[in-house]
């Protein structure tokens, strides 16, 4: 990747900023090493894309002079190539996980970006008019323990929405991209083999039904109740929700939110998370919602 040649100077400066000089830099994030190779244009990313990853590592970022903290591995988790951004779209790189994660990005111009706790305990980096080129991405953890996570990529802007004025709300803000919505399946166990896919469902929010996890939910959690817990729907409100299918996690954390209390659970074989709130939703239903689909026992 030709753009990496231009990034030798920023990396060298970062190395000199560490207390141990060049020797210490060997154990710090190194963009010249190889991570998992992924490539998209920003048009491809008009719909969010998700890639599973183990977050964390044994490198203490606070010792690397990069104005970040947490723990990562030395090599990038991902080498992302943005193949085209002729529409001058923004690129958002974010993480979804059950644990407290951090995000480190070295962009196509050689600049370092760090974030922690933008969406709850999940980080996100938004790059304006992201140039085509190589981006190196590290998904770390705030503490020393690793966890299962998902890297999510999405572009925002006129080209991603299909035209200069397409997808604009009255206030001028771009709407989220639309996908074909399916009926509420009750839970997402039957979609377990579609890890990394983003799916849309028409759901009526309810406070009834079993939910395990917070932010990342077991795939046998009630979709309608989890949507209320996550804040993407209110009880009795019908709307289209988008979810990303995730791999199983080692543990799921309980919490109470929006009138729904979720439960703790240990290792489970499938997960999902909500991408964003529905752009439009129907008024709350005047009649009580039908009884939820029975949950499979654990």
Per residue in 58-99, pLDDT (tens digit) is 999 999 988 889 999 999 999 999 999 998 999 999 998 888
* Structural domains in the chain (count): 2
Q: What is the pLDDT of residue 83?
A: 94
CATH number at residue 238: 2.170.130.20
Rounded distance between C-alpha atoms, residue 223 and residue 205, angstroms: 8
128: containing domain? 2-156
Residue where one domain finishes, among candidates 139, 156, 173:
156
Q: How many CB atoms lie within 10 A of CB 171?
A: 5
Exposure string of 237-246, with b = 16+ CB inside 10 Å and e = fewer, is: bbbbbbbbbb
Structural domain contains residue 195? yes
| Residue 14 and residue 133 in one domain | yes
Rounded distance between C-alpha atoms, residue 104 and residue 96, angstroms: 14
Q: What is the pLDDT of residue 292?
A: 46
| Residue 106 and residue 200 in one domain | no
| Residue 131 and residue 27 in one domain | yes
φ, ψ for residue 174, nearest 5 deg: -65, 135
| Residue 92 and residue 149 in one domain | yes
Strand partners, 60: 71
| Residue 7 and residue 151 in one domain | yes
Residue where one domain finishes, among candidates 91, 121, 156:
156
Q: What is the pLDDT of residue 6?
A: 45
Question: What radius of gyration, in Å, describes the C-alpha atoms of the chain?
Answer: 20
* pTM for this prediction: 0.53
Q: What is the pLDDT of residue 298?
A: 59
| Residue 139 and residue 187 in one domain | no
Structural domain contains residue 171? no
Structural domain contains residue 161? no
Token pair for 99: 């644990």
Rounded distance between C-alpha atoms, residue 138 and residue 77, angstroms: 5
| Residue 112 and residue 257 in one domain | no
| Residue 90 and residue 220 in one domain | no
Q: What is the pLDDT of residue 297?
A: 53
Structural domain contains residue 38? yes
| Residue 152 and residue 190 in one domain | no
Q: What is the pLDDT of residue 119?
A: 77
Structural domain contains residue 289? no
| Residue 22 and residue 101 in one domain | yes
Structural domain contains residue 165? no
| Residue 7 and residue 152 in one domain | yes
User: With helix as H, strand as E and coil as C, how does the chain read?
Assistant: CHHHHHHHHHHHHHHHCCCCHHHHHCCCCCCCCCCEEEEECCCHHHCCEEEEEEECCCEEHHHCCCCCCCEECCCCCEEEEECCCCCCCEEEEEEEECCCEEEEEECCCCCEEEEECCECCECEEEECCCCCEEEEEEEEECCCCCEEEEEEEEEECCCCCCCCCCCECCCCCECCCCCCEEECCCCCHHHCCCCCCEEEEEEECCCCCCCEEECEEECCCCHHHHHHHHCCCCCCCEEEEEEEEEECCCCECCCEECCEECECECCCCEEEEEEECCCCEECCCCCCCCCCCCCCCC
Q: What is the pLDDT of residue 16?
A: 37
| Residue 91 and residue 189 in one domain | no
Identify the segments of the chain with pLDDT beneath 50.
1-26, 158-177, 277-295
């Amino acid at each position: 990747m030709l753009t990496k040649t231009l990034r030798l100077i920023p990396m060298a400066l970062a190395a000199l900023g560490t207390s141990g000089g060049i020797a210490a830099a060997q154990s710090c994030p190194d963009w010249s090493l190889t991570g998992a190779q992924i490539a998209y244009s920003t048009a491809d990313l008009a719909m969010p894309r998700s890639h599973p990853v183990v977050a964390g590592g044994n490198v203490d970022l606070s010792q690397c002079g990069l104005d970040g903290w947490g723990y990562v591995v030395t090599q990038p988790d991902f080498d992302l190539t943005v193949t085209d951004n002729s529409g001058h779209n923004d690129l958002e790189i974010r993480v979804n996980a059950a644990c407290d994660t951090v995000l480190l990005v070295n962009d196509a111009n050689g600049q370092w970006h760090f974030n922690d706790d933008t969406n709850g305990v999940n980080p996100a980096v938004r790059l304006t008019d992201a140039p085509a080129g190589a981006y190196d991405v590290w998904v770390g953890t705030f503490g020393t323990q690793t966890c299962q996570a998902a890297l999510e990529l999405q572009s925002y802007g006129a080209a991603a929405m299909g035209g200069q004025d397409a997808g604009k709300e009255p206030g001028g803000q771009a709407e989220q991209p639309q996908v074909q919505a399916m009926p509420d399946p009750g839970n997402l166990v039957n979609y377990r083999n579609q890890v990394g896919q983003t799916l849309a469902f028409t759901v009526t929010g309810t406070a009834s039904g079993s939910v395990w996890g917070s932010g990342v939910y077991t795939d046998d959690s009630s979709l309608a109740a989890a949507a209320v817990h996550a804040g993407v729907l209110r009880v009795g409100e019908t709307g289209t929700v988008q979810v990303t299918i995730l791999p199983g996690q080692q543990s799921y954390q309980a919490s109470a939110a929006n009138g729904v209390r979720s439960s703790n659970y240990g290792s489970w074989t499938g997960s999902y998370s909500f991408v964003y709130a529905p752009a439009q939703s129907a008024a709350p239903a005047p009649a009580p919602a039908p009884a939820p689909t029975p949950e499979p026992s654990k």
